[in-house]
Amino acid sequence: MDLKDKFAVFMRQRHGRLTHEMVLTPGRFGLGQTPDRLQPDSTTSMVCGFCSTGCGLKIHMKDGKAVNLTPDPEYPVNLGMACPKGWEALTPLKADNRAVAPMIRGEDGKLAPVEWDQALHLFTDKIKATMARHGKESVAFLSTGQIPMEELFLLGILTKFGMGLLHGDANTRQCMATSHVAYKQSFGFDAPPFTYKDYEESDVLVFFGANPCIAHPIMWERVMMNPRKPEIIVVDPRQTETALAATRHYPLLPKTDLPLLYGLAHVLIREGWIDQAYIDANTTGFREFARHVQTYHPAAVGKITGLGEARLLEFARAIRPGKRVSLWWTMGVNQSHEGVRTAQAIINLALMTGNIGRPGTGANSITGQVNAMGSRLFSNTSGLPGGRNFQDAAHRREVADILGIDTDIIQQKPGLAYDQILTGVKEGRIKALWIIATNPAHSWVDQEEFRRAAKNLDLLVVQDMYHDTDTARLAHLVLPSACWGEKEGVVINSERRMGLFKKVSPAPGQALSDFYIFKLIAKYWGCDAMFKDMDTPEQTFQVMSKLSVGRPCDFSGIRDYKMIDEEGGIQWPYSAAEAAGAATGSIPAHAGIEKERRLFADGRFYHPDGKAKFQFGPPQPIPEPVTPEFPFALLTGRSSSAQWHTNTRTGKSAVLRKLYAADSYVEIHPDDASHLKIASGDWVIVKSLRGQARARAAVASTVQPGQLFMPMHDVEVNRLTFPAFDTHSRQPSYKHCAVRVEKDADA
């Protein structure tokens, strides 16, 4: 009997009718709480669970189950639109490889289902024993930006304050760490200033390393609704779908954004195309910055970037003051060895031209995952909840007071970053790793290194909605989770809008929401007293609301989930004072909740002096330059609006599968292809110093000669990537490594 059959028999015998609710009956675990409330049989609205756009979807229910969905025409984000993933959002719930019971790897090396009780004992006993033997530093967790903030918050305080771990990070390190650090240093707080209306109100939109046509299609629709006939500028080495749709494309050489931005600043200053009054009133450090960019002469920068002097001058002219200019960036900037300085060079352009705090402006980082922003504010990984700092004694006290815990429990510096945790695993210092809602055996840079490191672990726990992800296949213990649609909570989108997840479908088998898994672990660990005020996600939201008071992200004016629901999402800040109608910070007094709110209208930033700070530094050499042996620069990224990351969810939809390429592929320029005698559709092997990948050649001038592009959705891609990290944010530089390509002799 194979595992699947064994499993089916097990489920019938032991748990045939065991439901989510029954697992949590008070008698069984003494938790005494009710699980998430299943929506009644009617149509209800909630936020999509894939990307950070945060579209509203209307879910149509029958017999306690979601049967269909349609985009919500009332929701201020998407105005009745959805991309293919949104339309297919319910399909991944029904897949037959859902994890429906906890599973433990037996002596035979196979995962077999067990009861929660056994799984939770194994989890807590083994982790306690590891910590007793090897210390607090021997256990770590890796989480995500894809679950609601109540879950991330609960996990953060359970692990760091309840269990006493020091090290935990999230896949937001792969994604948003750069923006987080850049904003914090420049503005004094991690605060993307924009609202989506800015897409419609700009005269000039510049996209740096962003491909919204594919990655944020509904944000792109908002750009298309702009009535001002805007100039749309795309800065990307590749001729992406967005570059094709833009009015101008600057195909710079990979990783030359920083000199390009300094060159643009040089020209703007030289020509007097700056807003000196704004600079004087609202910023510090401009004089030093101006001195720094003095040497970035357009002729030299034209050469470094491959764009030429004339195009650089034309670019500077397009963004000179007089028009509303908005500057947007995504992973082409963040995933770089010098991402933080590059993002800050974009922020500097906005500051020096006074393009911030007004309609159609801003230095705007577009987030990626549905709750990347919630993770940045509340996950308790790289900072304390509410965007506070571990290093700050007053911050530690505030958190301790509100949570009713001893201040000494709180660590005085952040734990290790993602790559440092994995180094700890590799070197045997970290013995147990708990992975929640992320799939690093596919998505982590230099994947073979991850897989090798994972073999060193005494305990690898994977908490996922599927039992057979690339990472779950390496696990000793799999904890089955409910997913979007099966639980409730709040997520924060790119424009700081809080939106709701609701339960519109029961979770399969014994799967539990991550929230209740964390609660159970607290119970088994013996630290559940700490969470007595957090029996449900909504109660937890109230605790987080208290933690937000007085912080730039203050949302204490939000009464409850119902208010978020009725308002069509609410953008932070929304303080209790503002709810009472008072003027607060940069938000003028008003009645009711404004639907579109941007930050910094009053020119006040979050540094103690109220000013934004010019941040800069010298460009660093590319970590792995091309060589005669590995002569191509490999770029990676999203390739289809129908695929999500490691494809565990989107791969379940027959409709979506039709919308993306069936095989792995690599884009190669026609000149290079003809030189290597490669034709479109040929199987080729792409090799780096770390590994190799097999893919079909897609011969196209979308990439320049000497470059290749591969989608990140294919598992082979990160066998190739080079583990270089931004020195300030420790975000991996996924978008540049040296490779060679050859025809697959065996094909």
Interacting residues toward ligand SF4 by CB under 6 A: 48, 50-51, 53-55, 78, 82-83, 85-86, 217-218
Q: How far is the CB of 330 from Mo ion (least distance, A)?
A: 9
Among 160, 184, 238, 669, binds ligand MGD (CB under 6 A): 238
210 lies in the site for ligand MGD, by CB under 6 A:
yes
Nearer to ligand MGD, 138 or 653 (CB): 653
- Quick check: 453 and 418 in contact, CB under 8 A? no
Q: How far is the CB of 466 from ligand SF4 (least distance, A)?
A: 19
Round to whole Å and give the CA distance between 627 and 684. Answer: 20
190 lies in the site for ligand MGD, by CB under 6 A:
no
Round to whole Å and give the CA distance between 711 and 661. Answer: 10
User: Which listed option, ligand SF4, Mo ion, ligand MGD, none, makes contact with residue 238 (CB within 5 to 8 Å by class)?
Assistant: ligand MGD
Cα distances from 623 to residues 55, 183, 619, 707, in angstroms, run 38, 24, 12, 16
Three-state DSSP state, 195: coil
Q: How far is the CB of 267 from Mo ion (least distance, A)?
A: 32
Nearer to ligand MGD, 104 or 402 (CB): 104
Q: How many CB atoms lie within 10 A of CB 379?
A: 26
175 lies in the site for Mo ion, by CB under 5 A:
yes
Q: How far is the CB of 742 from Mo ion (least distance, A)?
A: 31
Nearest alpha-carbon partner for 325 in 236, 264, 256 = 264
Three-state DSSP state, 178: helix
Q: How far is the CB of 53 from ligand SF4 (least distance, A)?
A: 4
Among 181, 436, 460, 684, binds ligand MGD (CB under 6 A): 436
Cross-sheet strand order for the sheet of 486-492? 486-492, 497-503, 570-571
- State which residue has the least CB distance to ligand SF4: 86
Q: How many CB atoms lie within 10 A of CB 73?
A: 11
User: What residues contact residue 296 under an 8 Å CB cut-off, 6+ apart?
Assistant: 259, 262, 263, 265, 266
Longest dimension (CA), the chain: 79
- Quick check: 84 and 642 in contact, CB under 8 A? yes
Instruction: Give the binding range for Mo ion (CB under 5 A) out of 151-159, 297-305, 363-371, 708-716.
Output: 363-371
- Quick check: 540 and 534 in contact, CB under 8 A? yes
- Quick check: 148 and 371 in contact, CB under 8 A? yes
Return the residues of window 251-290 that contact Mo ion according to CB under 5 A.
none
User: β-strands 56-62, 65-71: how paired?
Assistant: antiparallel
411 lies in the site for ligand MGD, by CB under 6 A:
no
Instruction: Give the binding range for Mo ion (CB under 5 A) out of 8-16, 223-231, 249-257, 364-372.
Output: 364-372
733 lies in the site for ligand MGD, by CB under 6 A:
no
Nearest alpha-carbon partner for 693 in 669, 724, 663, 661 = 663
Nearer to ligand MGD, 168 or 368 (CB): 368
Three-state DSSP state, 67: strand
List alpha helices for 507-612, DSSP H. 514-525, 537-548, 561-567, 576-579
635 lies in the site for ligand MGD, by CB under 6 A:
yes
Return the residues of window 530-589 that contact ligand MGD according to CB under 6 A.
none
Q: How far is the CB of 340 from Mo ion (least distance, A)?
A: 16
Q: How far is the CB of 329 from ligand SF4 (least distance, A)?
A: 18
Nearer to Mo ion, 254 or 368 (CB): 368
Query: In degrees to the nearest 10, what's the CA dihedral of 413, 444, 133, 403?
Result: 40
Tokens at 609, concatenated: 């002096």
Q: How far is the CB of 488 from ligand MGD (least distance, A)?
A: 12
Q: How many CB atoms lie within 10 A of CB 403?
A: 20
For the window 368-397, what string marks contact with ligand MGD as x by the rule CB under 6 A?
A: xx----------------------------
Query: How many residues in the shown chain lie near ligand MGD by CB under 6 A?
Result: 61
368 lies in the site for Mo ion, by CB under 5 A:
yes
Round to whole Å and give the CA distance between 250 and 268. Answer: 18
User: β-strands 497-503, 570-571: how paired?
Assistant: antiparallel
Q: Which residue has the tokens 């990472």?
A: 471
Q: How far is the CB of 281 from ligand SF4 (least distance, A)?
A: 38
Q: How far is the CB of 83 from ligand SF4 (least distance, A)?
A: 3
Nearer to Mo ion, 126 or 173 (CB): 173
469 lies in the site for ligand MGD, by CB under 6 A:
yes
Instruction: Give the binding range for ligand MGD (CB under 6 A) out of 189-197, 305-313, 462-470, 577-585.
Output: 462-470
624 lies in the site for ligand MGD, by CB under 6 A:
no
Round to whole Å and give the CA distance between 492 and 422. Answer: 28
- Quick check: 449 and 688 in contact, CB under 8 A? no
Q: How far is the CB of 654 from ligand MGD (least distance, A)?
A: 17
Nearest alpha-carbon partner for 46 in 10, 16, 20, 74 = 74
Among 131, 140, 223, 235, binds ligand MGD (CB under 6 A): 235
Round to whole Å and give the CA distance between 387 and 552. Answer: 8
215 lies in the site for ligand MGD, by CB under 6 A:
yes
Instruction: Give the binding range for ligand MGD (CB under 6 A) out of 1-9, 183-191, 206-214, 519-527.
Output: 206-214
Strand runs labelled E in 278-324: 283-284
**Which residues, in sequence order, are bridge partners of residue 665?**
696
Residues that bind ligand MGD (CB under 6 A): 51, 144, 146-147, 171, 174-175, 208-211, 214-216, 235-238, 240, 254-255, 257, 330-332, 335, 368-369, 436-440, 442-443, 463-466, 469, 481, 483-484, 514, 635-638, 641, 643-646, 648-649, 712, 717-718, 721, 734-735
Residues that bind Mo ion (CB under 5 A): 175, 368
